[in-house]
Amino acid sequence: MKATEGMFDESVVYVTKQGTQVRTDEGRIVVWDVDAADDEDPELATYPKEKLDTINVFGGVNFTTPFVAEANEHGIVLNYFTQNGKYRGSFVPEKNTIAEIRRAQYALDYTEELAIAKEMIAAKIRNQRTLLSRKGVHGTDVLKDLGKRARNVSNKDDLRGAEGEAAERYFDRLDETLVSGWTFEKRTKRPPEDHINSLLSLTYTFMKNESMSALRQYNLDPFLGVLHADRHGRPSLALDLEEEFRPIFCDAFVTRLINRGVFTHDDFSKDNHLSDDAFKTYLSKFDGFMQETLTHPHFEYEVSRRKAVRQQAILLRKAITGELTEYHALSFDR
């Protein structure tokens, strides 16, 4: 089977250079360096607007008013981050709420939500096992059992219980996949207590953002979840969708960064943040990782990771609108 033609891979742009301006020029989107010297080309990058759906900006980057109007017109979401990657908020184009899709999403009942959430968590646990096994860590039968348990629960609390237990077992073993000099004691957040937890948290944030972009592109409300509890300002559905990607994409990415020596402990500040330069490296590595292709485990054609995430948003939407009978999560058996 041939992969469907796509524009997904270059559809997300990151702008990190401070003092730049994003503007339009003859129908194209241009990243302009306001501070460029006379002998430098101020045009840093240019994109056809039809190709983009998300622009992520970090820190001091501004948009011209005509550009924002174009972004609205063309359904381009603008996400704002601080210079070191903390999410600040978004500009969401108005065409991004198709009533019928939202209605179907809000009409999901507990049983339907649970059915979708079970698929997501079962896939997550499956992917945890797969990642460990790819790294040569064996003896993960307990995860296998937890995966079965996740499929058989009758309520969300039991599902969260199975998920939590699996996460604990899995992170216990993830340590074995790291090169010497790095240890993974346990998963900590708010704040991450060590460098590896800091990288994991950062990567989950970025993947959550990929999930948000994907959900928004297909008019699903990222703030109304199927498993994560709704809490003011929390993109619960994006977090739900992210679950299946965490082991196989996020954790795999972080272990790769460490094991290939992309970062050393010196790249982190005292509060476990990446230094400015290291953060730029991180961004380009992350984007490269999302554009990297793999053989899709179900469809068997080559897809980029970014496209795989977008496809899951489509499959989720189809499950919600009844175009498909169930949600088909992304799981890798090997």
Partner 1 sequence: MTKASFRDELVHVSALQEYVYCPRRYYYQRYQDQIGTTYELVDGRSKHAAQSRRGGWTTERYFRSDSLGLHGKIDLIESDRGTLTPIERKRAESGDYYPSDEVQIAAYCMLLEDAIDEAVNVGYIYLYSTDERHAIHITGKHRSAVQTIIDRIRSMSINSIPSFTNNTNKCNGCSAREYCMPAETAQLEPERARGTGWEDHP
Residues within the interface to partner 1 (CB under 8 A): 1, 4-7, 50, 95, 98, 100-101, 218-219, 298-299, 311, 314-315, 318, 323-326, 328
- Cβ of residue 63: shortest distance to partner 1, in angstroms? 22
Nearer to partner 1, 100 or 277 (CB): 100
Q: How far is the CB of 95 from partner 1 (least distance, A)?
A: 7
Q: Closest CB to partner 1 among 103 and 256?
A: 103
Least gap, CB of 23 to partner 1 (angstroms): 21
Buried/exposed code over 299-333 (b: 16+ C-beta within 10 A; e: otherwise): eeeebbbbbbbbbbbebbbbbbeeeeeebbbbbbe
- Phi, psi at 202, each rounded to 5°: -60, -45
**Residue 108 vs 142, nearer CB to partner 1:** 108
| Nearer CB in complex with partner 1: 72/281 | 72
CB 8 within 8 A of CB 307: yes
Q: Rounded to the nearest whole angstrom, what is the least distance from the CB of residue 106 to partner 1 in the complex? A: 16
Angstrom CA distances, 12 to 29, 78, 85, 210, stand at: 13, 10, 15, 9
Q: Which is nearer to partner 1, 53 or 287 (CB)?
A: 53
Q: What does the alpha-carbon distance between residue 271 and residue 262 come to, in Å, rounded to a whole number?
A: 19
Of the candidates 240, 214, 221, 218, which has an alpha carbon nearest to the alpha carbon of residue 306? 214
Strands (DSSP E) along 107-227, which ranges?
Answer: none
Q: Break the chain down into helix, strand, coil percent, rounded to 5.
A: 50, 15, 35
Write down the least CB distance from residue 154 to partner 1, Å. Answer: 24
